[in-house]
Structure 1
Amino acid sequence: MSSSDSTSASSIPPPPSRLPPPTGNFLVDVFQSVTHFSDIPCARNSLLGGIASGAGIGVVRGISSSALVAGNWAMATFVIVSLGSYHLCQKQMADERKVVTKVIESMPRRVVKQQEGSDETTAKSAGSAAS
């Protein structure tokens, strides 16, 4: 990978945040973050996958061992699956952003030619036709 590839990849701006800007008050910021949780990309799907897998492993372990052990396995599975799927989703989004940036950079630049003379003649002919 050349240095120009790494510079163009690092120059990709992050997507705009849909979360409200921080106010400086910790409690207000935490409350706003919790109420706007669904605006975080990949968070919902990652947590739902973690909940489902944690519940499944918890039930399976609950059949063969005590409730405390099953709860520990369920929580560990939830955390691992949620973090793993969130990381993978964020990586896929970053890779997709890189591909889109490369496609946009490889497209030929369109040059809009100003046709002032033809616009003036069109306006004059339209004005004379109206008279």
Structure 2
Amino acid sequence: MEIQGTIKKIDETKTYGNNGFRKREVVITTQEQYPQFLLVEFVQDKCDLLNAYQVGQDVKISINLRGREWVNPQGETKYFNSIQGWRIENLSQSNAGGEMPPMPPVDQFEPADDLNAGDNDDLPF
């Protein structure tokens, strides 16, 4: 599955337990009629995928839905869901938003020196 949105928050990598389990969370805001704030977890070696991203970027994240069962000390069974990311892509670079590519600096163009004020052109203004 994939989800798309704008990065709202990126947490630092956190390490848990004696085995050094690593987890890093990112929150994205979806672009739909009723935007959703989705928390996506990246674990172990996938934590480092978020190093190249920052708040405000439009991304597409490939995810797996995870669920687990837990029995509390009183014997009640509880269920938990999580969204686990395994790939992230920057949509801004791919020009997926339909935006125009950036213009080169002005000094990259040679000045036009063969202009005549009396020349007519076909421009409507």
TM-score over 0.5 for the pair: no
- Per the normalisation by structure 1, the TM-score is 0.24
Query: Which structure has greater strand proportion?
Result: 2
Q: Which has the larger radius of gyration?
A: 1
TM-score by length of 2: 0.25
Larger helix percent: 1
